[in-house]
Amino acid sequence: MATIKDVAQLAGVSFATVSYVLNDSMPVSEATRNKVLAAVTKLGYQPHRQGRNLQRQRTLTIGVLLPQANLLCEVDLATWLLEATNAATSAGYSLLLQPADSQARGDLADGWISFGTPLDPQLPQVWALAPPCDQPAVLCDAAFAAQRAVETLTHSGMRRIGLITLPRSIPGSARWYLGYRRALRRAGLGFDPGLVVEPAANRFHDGVAAYETLAASENDYDGLIVCGHQLATGVVMVDHAKVPVIVSHSSSQRGISGFRWPTELWAHTLVRKLLQQLDGAAIAHRTWLNPSLVIGSLGFKEDLDGFNYV
């Protein structure tokens, strides 16, 4: 592995000059610059991260605090990580994984991000140590989705909207409920507890069970919202498409309406914001990213005329 000294020797200059060329931190004559660059390419020289960091007091690394369990069932952690990695890499940084409950964060990274939204009151307790409070707040809110779903249905004339929530043990579940209630209030509709079913767990057949509970009850509903990928799969399986259904995750599986979560954009934005913050820029206090509703082809669009959401 070639060092800066090898480059300097080959180019016949001092290694400080090489550094100046590479960092543009001092004026260098055209002639020497060319000599240096030639030597760099010839040797395939790449600056040594550790050595550079030692001086600059920068690690060129972004830490990711990884919770022991996937906190956010709206978004796929793998996709999120991949996109965060891409964003970091293209800025010359790399991503360092650290368990959220581990001790030493210290000087391993210049800044820390975490996978999760600070909105849910349940979330903080998952972090053993203090949460990364200086993380730029990029928010992607399930309450928005719930609200949007309700609005979509009420704009189309529905008045009694059923909700199959996530079990309350799941972080983030409260946001769905919150958005649902808020939207009902704003639409001037009353809240009927009989229209809300909370499944026992977040699995396929819990969705089926919840759906059957709702259907068997005397509560009539003319629209339905289902949270959670697994639950929704179960519901869609047994649903008779009598009323419009909106699920938490758009899926190509069937023509059901659902949300597309901006996972990639979210990760990307979070990393970019952090980098800006590290550069000393004052960043926006909060950035909101909204899931978008994808209208399906099945049992909904056909029933509703004048429907203009995309």
Partner DNA sequence: ATACTTTATTTAAACGTTTAAATAGATGAG
Partner DNA sequence: CTCATCTATTTAAACGTTTAAATAAAGTAT
Nearer to DNA, 56 or 168 (CB): 56
Q: Please select the residue that binds its own copies; options are 70, 277, 287, 292, rule is CB under 8 A.
A: 70
56 binds DNA (CB under 7 A): yes
Q: Please select the residue that binds DNA; options are 9, 32, 79, 219, rule is CB under 7 A.
A: 32
C-beta of residue 58 within 8 angstroms of C-beta of residue 17? no
The least CB distance from residue 1 to DNA, in Å, is 7
Q: Quick one: angle between helices 4-11 and 30-43, nearest 10?
A: 130
Hey, CA dihedral for 209, 293, 181, 72, is it positive or negative?
Answer: positive
Phi/psi for 105 (5° steps) reads -100, -45
Q: Which does 86 bind (CB under 5 to 8 A by kind): DNA, its own copies, none?
A: its own copies
Distance CA 274, CA 116 (A): 15
C-beta of residue 70 within 8 angstroms of C-beta of residue 169? no
Q: Which does 27 bind (CB under 5 to 8 A by kind): DNA, its own copies, none?
A: DNA
Phi/psi for 64 (5° steps) reads -120, 120
Distance CA 33, CA 17 (A): 9
Closest CA to 172 of 152, 150, 202: 202
Closest CA to 249 of 264, 266, 231, 237: 231
233 binds its own copies (CB under 8 A): yes
Task: Please classify residue 262 by burial: count the beta carbons closer than 10 Å to its beta carbon, then call 0-12 exposed, 13-18 middle and 19+ buried.
Answer: middle
41 binds DNA (CB under 7 A): no
Could you give the C-alpha distances from 133 to 101, 111, 175, in angstroms and in order? 15, 11, 20
Phi/psi for 300 (5° steps) reads -130, -60
6 binds its own copies (CB under 8 A): no
42 binds DNA (CB under 7 A): no
Nearer to its own copies, 184 or 270 (CB): 270
Residue 164 CB contacts under 8 Å (≥ 6 apart), including other chains:
197, 198, 199, 207, 210, 211, 214, 224, 225, 226, 227, 231, 235
Query: 27-66 mask for its own copies (x: CB under 8 A)?
Result: -------------------x-xxxx-xx----x-x--x-x
104 binds its own copies (CB under 8 A): yes
The least CB distance from residue 133 to its own copies, in Å, is 19
Q: Which does 15 bind (CB under 5 to 8 A by kind): its own copies, DNA, none?
A: DNA
Q: How far does CA 116 lie from the centroid of its chain?
A: 7
The least CB distance from residue 107 to its own copies, in Å, is 6
The one-letter amino acid code at 94 reads: S
Contact region with DNA (CB under 7 A), list: 50-58, 95-103, 211-219, 263-271: 50-58
Q: Please select the residue that binds DNA; options are 9, 37, 43, 47, rule is CB under 7 A.
A: 47
Q: Which does 96 bind (CB under 5 to 8 A by kind): its own copies, DNA, none?
A: its own copies
Binding site for its own copies (CB under 8 A): 1, 46, 48-51, 53-54, 59, 61, 64, 66, 68, 70, 76-78, 81-82, 84-86, 88-89, 94-99, 102, 104, 106-108, 203-205, 230, 233-234, 237, 251-254
Binding site for DNA (CB under 7 A): 1, 3-5, 12-20, 22-23, 25-29, 31-32, 46-48, 50-52, 54-57
